[in-house]
Structures are given as C-alpha cells and as structure tokens.
Chains A and B, each alone.
Chain A
Amino acid sequence: MEAELQPQEERSPAPVVGLSLCDSAPLLWRLQDLKAVRSEGLVGALLGSLPRTPRQNVRLGRPLLLLPEEERLLGERGGAAALPAQNQEAAAGELQQRYTEEQQRSFEEQSVLALEDRESALVRAMTSSSGSDPASDEALQHRLLDLEQNFSFPRSALAVQLSTARAGLSHCPEARAFLEADWPIRAQRCPRREARFQVFRDLRGRGFFLTSAGKFGGDFLVYPGDPLRFHAHFIAICLALDESVCLLDVLCAARLGSNVKKTVLLCSPAPDGPVRYTSLQWSGMV
C-alpha cells in the first residue's frame, strides 16, 4: 500500500491527506497532512494544546480542524481519504511485547547518552580549570573511570514521547489499511451550505485564503495571502441570489465591517457559474 502511495504523491501536487473523524468533525493529525493542506491554501483551525507551552490559548497545536468547505474541496479533488477508525483488534500480545522491548532499548540507549553527556561535561570542567598537565590528565581519567563504573540512569529520568498522531506502537496499529479509497459523503447538501461552498471554492480558486468569520458576523474572512503574514481584507457573507435580505442585517454587517476596517462582501453564486460579489460600504456622509 505504501508503495502505491508514493508514486501517487509524485504524480499529483496535492497528496492525499488522511482525515480522521472525531465526534464527526474532520481532524488532521499528521504533520505531513497539515503541510499538505496548507500548501493548497487551506488554513483550517488548530484545536489542541501546544506541546511546548500547553497552558495558553494564543498559539494552539494539532489537531487541525477543517471547515466543511475545506473538507469538501479536498474530497472533490480526491485529495483526502478517511483514516480507518481505530481499533482493529490486533495481535495485542505481540505489540505489547514489542512496546516493552522498545522501551527497554530506549532506556539503554538513553543511559549511554546520559553517561556520555556527563563524561563530556566532566572533561569540559576539568580541562577548562587547569591546562593540560599529565597529573590532571590522570586525575581526569581516574574520575571518568569512576563515573563510568558508578553511573546509573534512573528509570524515572527516561524521556518518553507522548505521541500526538496515532503512529508506531500504540494500541491501534496503523500499518494495515492505511488509506481507504473513498471518502464517505458527509456534507449535508442544503442551499446555504451549497452557497457557502460555491463561494469558498471560487475565492480559493482566485488565490485567497479563507478562515471562518463567526466572530465578525460573516461566513468567511478572506485573506490575500497566507494568514500567517497577511491581514484579512474582506468579510464574506454568502447568500443565494434569490434570497431576500433584511435591511437591518445589511446595515449591521456594513457597520461592523467598517469598524474592523474590512470590506463586507455579499457573495452570491449564480446557478450556473460565477459568483457575484457586492461590496458594502458605510459612506459616512453627513
């Protein structure tokens, strides 16, 4: 299977990414998948605590949640596939044994590394204090020997990894049936979702980056480039062409847009093709 995957990656600029469902939300876990969707201009939203400093909300970490539109876009291009739900009951016994072995091997290797670490520290300390005279050299050798004989690496000092993505020796081995061919159709087709998707696809096709704009009262925030470097220019509000709009809503949106220095776009996909964009601006005439 892996062999099949590799050539596919070479062929298409967009590799197939593995989605996993959590409470029916499409989540991306593996770094390569995150990178892949980003390179397609899909931003998503990070949900998890950042491993480096978990207790803050400014920068979050994996997993990455895809918007329904992002998910559908990937699906349409055949660029996404569902990861199997966990827990194909494996030969658990064998895995557990392997896990124990791995741990033991890791412990041994880390012991060696720790000893090396201490030795080099000792050498650094001894040599920097006194030049290189034979007496101190001998003392150093003696000390090193002493260290080697008495060094013990406590089990509690063993560094272990808490894996983010499911991989390697977890209780649910990954190796089999990594990717399945098709992605279940999950998107509920309702006019509103449809309009949103049309707009999303159109704007993305024009090179814009999009994120959700709930806090600005719109459907999408539209960025001219990667949101890491650019401010959003527009607030996109998606409407079907024949949908009537309450004037108050329009005024609210316009007023809000001008307050956050963004242009409000009313976006309506025409039945057969292009999306119509209308900008709203509060003129401030007195």
Chain B
Amino acid sequence: MADQNKPESADNFFNEILSPCELFAARSRSHKIPARGQKDFYPDDSEEQKQRLQQRLDEHWSLISEERVERLGNLVKAVWSPSERIVELQTPAGKFWQTMGFSAEGKQFLLPEEALYLMECGNLQVFHQDLPLSIQDGYEAFLSSDSVSLQQYQVFGHLKRLGYVVHRFDPSSEPSPYARQLNLPRSRDRGGRQLKRKRSPSPAPTSSKTAAASQAEEMEEEDKLPESHLVASAAPQTSSSGAAGEVQARTWWPAEVPERQAGQRSAPGSQRWDFSSICFPDLGSAGRLAPLDASLLPGGVTPGVCDVAPWMRRINLRKVKMSPKEEERERRQRRRDVNKDKEVQRCRNWAEYHKLLERRQAKRQGRPAHLWSGEVQPLHDPTRPISTAELLEKISVIKSTDLLEGAARLKGSEEWRICFNVYQPDSVADFKKSNPGKPYARMCVCSFDGPVPDLRVIKQLSFQSGDVPVVYAAVDHGDISFYTFKDFQLPRDIYP
C-alpha cells in the first residue's frame, strides 16, 4: 500500500517500504524456508520445465524480497558512533550479551561486525542522527578494509549463523615467545579490554605474607623432626612406643621421592685418612694396639689393652667351595692387585680413582679418548646401547622439522593476520566473555583471488596461535572454504 502523501513518482522508488498495514500483517508470517526440489540436468524447452523454473523463481524472489519486521519491544536500540567505529547500546542487551559486546565506563558496546550481524538477525536497530540504519547502511558504514573487511564479515557471519562464538583475535592477549619459553602460567587478565578495569590495583598483601610465614613454619617444623627422616618430609609419624597398651595401625611411610641430582658430590681434594695413625685391629696385619683414648668410647666402657695376635690363628682360612664354572671364571679374571698400578697408586681418593677407571674404560672399549674430548664428537657412543629407532634418529643427518621450528624468530607480516578466535557452539551455555578459555580454532581470512599463505606465514601464524589450530577461511565470492595446514609426522615402521 503506497504512501498517500508521497508523489506518484516516488512510489517505485520507495517500494521496499512497508505500509503500516503490511507491517501489521507481517506479524503472523511463516518462518519456513521452502524446500528446493530436485534439479534437472538439461533444459528441454518444455512448458513443464519453464513452469517449474518460474515457480522456483517466484519462490526465490518472495523469499529474497521479504523485509525484516520486528515488534519494537523485541528490538534492542543502539547508536552508531562513526568516529570510534563502535555501536553503543541504548536499551538493555538481549541474550546475545553472553557472547558478544563489551562494557566500558558503565556503557555497553558492540563491535561493528557484531552489531551488523545482530541487525541482520532482527535483534538490533541501530540509529544514526536519530534515524534508523538499513542493513545496507550497516554494510557500507561498518565494513571497510581497515577495520573489518567484507570478506572477514562474511566469515564472521557464516560462523555466527552456525552458532559459533566468534571474537576478534587480540595478539597481545597471547603469551609472548619469551613467556612461552619460560612456560609461565597464562595470566588471564591480559589484554581483555573490559578486564583492565576490573583489575585491582593492589595485590592482596595478606596472602603472600601468610605464604612466607607458613613456609617458615614448615622449615621450623622440619628442624624439629628427628633425623631419622632420610626423606625430608613433614609426614605425621607414628611412634612405635606409642601410648601404653594402645594398639594402632602403622601408617604408610612418607612416600616422598628424594630428588636426585647427579654429580653434585664434592669430592675431597686429598687423601684424608692417615691410617697409620688410625689404628684398626686388623688381623691381616699383626700388632698390638695402643691403649684406647677414653674420649673415643661410650661412657662407662673401660677396656683393657687389646692383643690381636691370639685371634690370628683362629681366623677362617677355609677354602671357598666353588663350582667348576666359577673356578673357570675366577681363573680368567685372575687380576693383578690394582694397587700395583702406578696410576692407581697416585689416586688419593675415590673421585680420582673413578676418573681413572672411566678413562681406562673408554680406552678398553675401543673408544679413542681423543674423539670424545673435542667439541665435535662422534654421533654415537658404541658402548651405549640404544633402541634402533633412537639410533636411526641419531644418524639421520637431515632432520625433519616441525611447523613451529624456528617460528619464534619470524616477524609478523602485514598481509596475514589472525582475525578471529572461534569457540564451539556447545560452549555457549557456560561461555564467559571474561574468561573464554582456549579457543576451538583461530581464523585467518583470505581471498580466493589472493596468494596462498607461504610456509613463513603458516609458521608464524601457527606459532602466534600456540596450541590452538589456525584455520584459513578462503572466501570465493559467496562461498567460504576452510582449510588447515597441519604438521604431519610420517610414520616409521621400526620395531625396537
């Protein structure tokens, strides 16, 4: 029904404006999409075919022509702010607030792509200069190559329509390469615009204080522990002497595994014991022992002088019974006295002796020491058994690399960047904008007309994305295809 107040000529021009009557009638229209029938293979110019085509076209045009009509009460009202390229809500947000928008300075905002999508869904009416924006206005005003491009919006809309939660990707919210190297825990409140406000300026001082205090207490506790605890642990202990008559259960021993650090032993620098002055009652080397110094003995022990000689006759000289096999081995191993060796004689302690043995071991096993002393060493020590797979790995000179190798050094490119964080539809129910968790994927939007991302780009973006896969959305006019580049480890059939 045309507007009576307007000149006839405008009729055509404004024909997409609905009259109040049409608007009212639109309240009860269907939401079903007509099914598309089977297509034909060849046009045969038959009347039947023409008819079917016409019918399909009519259906198509009626569907396309349909205008969005919503009850005013169901619409969230918002205002477009072109200078900030942002949409500010004027009335309370709807359900969409759970996954979209952000608040700042007590106001609620939507990013342009979010606003446009909600406009298209018939949830939002955006005004500019007190006049409503059409969808077309939205496309033309909100989308531009320097903020959100049309192609990016196409991908955004496509994913949103499928139910995904889609957020702009903020590179600063990702841990830096250095932080990643240190494996620092991810701080949640980095980068999030709305969270910056919430961050309290002063960290709670009490918690750190108590932590320190409790640590000190713990240490004190440890000091009090009887030294029988070989394993330092504050596990409660049972006293076997317990209360009289009280029958109790034995607890599990503290199951703490002592930390093992290798090679931290400080070796004494010299031979320490002068056994000529420390007298053992050795039956192997006869002699009378000097009277004992009482300070070495427990109280109340007052021994006489000890004579070793009488005992020497009584020592067990019995020949050890040995099987022929053992004897054979014994013969083969008939070693010289290790101490006849000059080098061994020079060793003053175990540390030096161990070093000597190590050196000799290396020589004996056909491992020329000089090969191992330099900076460049043989690929493998033949005395060290390893599995076939490990060995193959070692001797493969050309190594396969993975996608992330060397990626940390790459600089970001202007042309390629990750646009969106994508969260799965099933996460919507308990989705929190403040703590969205790990995205399901990250989206990089590219055009079918443009170049294929090169290895450099793929590496750099994968590295930036961390353990979240990067998906490349290639937009071919209306079609969007999603591709991922994944590391592929060639299987190796080695059975160790």
Which residues of A are interface residues toward B (Cβ below 8 A)? 2-3, 20-25, 27, 29-32, 34-35, 38, 44-63, 65, 67, 85-86, 92, 95-96, 99, 105-106, 109-110, 113-114, 117, 154-172, 174-175, 178, 212, 214-215, 224-226, 228-231, 233
Complex contact A164–B481 (CB within 8 A)? no
Chain B, interface residues (CB within 8 Å), range: 35 or more
Task: Tell me, in angstroms, the Cα distance from A161 to B133 when the chains sit together.
Answer: 11
> A51-B122, A157-B71 known; 16 other A-B pairs, CB under 8 Å?
A31-B65, A45-B479, A61-B64, A95-B131, A99-B130, A106-B20, A156-B71, A156-B74, A159-B71, A160-B70, A163-B16, A165-B16, A212-B478, A224-B43, A228-B56, A230-B39
Bound form: Cα–Cα A67–B449 in Å:
12
Q: Is the interface of B mostly helix, strand, loop or mixed?
A: mixed
Which residues from chain B contact A163 at a C-beta distance below 8 Å?
16-17, 67-68, 132, 134-136
On whether the beta carbons of A229 and B39 are closer than 8 Å, the reply is yes
**A85 — which chain B residues lie within 8 A by C-beta?**
140
The answer to whether A172 touches B163, judged by C-beta atoms less than 8 angstroms apart, is no
Determine which of B10, B56, B74 lies in contact with A2 in the assembled complex, contact meaning CB atoms within 8 Å. Answer: B10
Complex: chain A residue closest to B141, CB-CB: A86
Whether B134 lies near A52 (C-beta < 8 A) is no
Q: List the 5 closest pairs (A to B, CB-CB), nearest first.
A: A45-B478, A156-B73, A214-B476, A171-B131, A109-B20
Query: Which of B21-29, B191-199, B333-341, B376-384 interfaces with chain A?
Result: B21-29
Q: Which residues of B contact A106 (CB under 8 A)?
A: 20, 23
**CB-CB under 8 A for A167 and B16, given A59-B33, A214-B474:** yes
- B243 on the A face (CB < 8 A): no
Residue contact A22 to B139, C-beta cutoff 8 Å? yes
Pick from B43, B140, B158: contact of A225, CB below 8 A: B43
Q: Does B145 contact A (CB under 8 A)?
A: yes
Mark B40-52 against chain A: 1 for CB-CB distance below 8 A, else 0: 1111000001001
CB <8 Å contact, A175 and B67: no
Contacts A212-B479, A224-B43 given; indicate if A51 touches B67 (C-beta within 8 A): yes
CB of B285, distance to nearest CB on chain A (Å): 89
How far is A192 from B149 in the complex, measured between Cα atoms in Å?
24
Nearest chain-A residue to B145 (Cβ)?
Answer: A23
**CB pairs A–B below 8 angstroms (28 shown):** A21-B140, A22-B140, A23-B143, A31-B61, A31-B64, A45-B478, A49-B157, A51-B66, A52-B33, A52-B63, A57-B161, A57-B162, A59-B63, A62-B135, A86-B140, A95-B131, A106-B23, A159-B26, A163-B16, A163-B17, A163-B132, A163-B135, A170-B133, A224-B42, A224-B43, A229-B56, A230-B41, A233-B41
| Among A58, A169, A214, contact of B477 (Cβ-Cβ < 8 Å) | A214
**B127: A residues at CB distance < 8 A:** 171
* Minimum Cβ distance to chain B for residue A158 (Å): 4
If A155-B72, A160-B23, A229-B39 touch, whether A170 touches B158 (CB-CB below 8 Å) is no
Contact yes or no, A61 B63, CB < 8 A? yes
Chain B residues near A92: list those with CB within 8 A.
Answer: 129-131
Binary interface encoding of chain B residues 99-134 relative to chain A, with 1 for a CB under 8 A from any of its CBs, else 0: 000000000000000000101111001011111111
Q: Which residues of A contact B43 (CB under 8 A)?
A: 224-225, 230
List of B residues within 8 angstroms of A61 by Cβ: 63-64, 66
- B188 CB–A CB distance under 8 Å: no
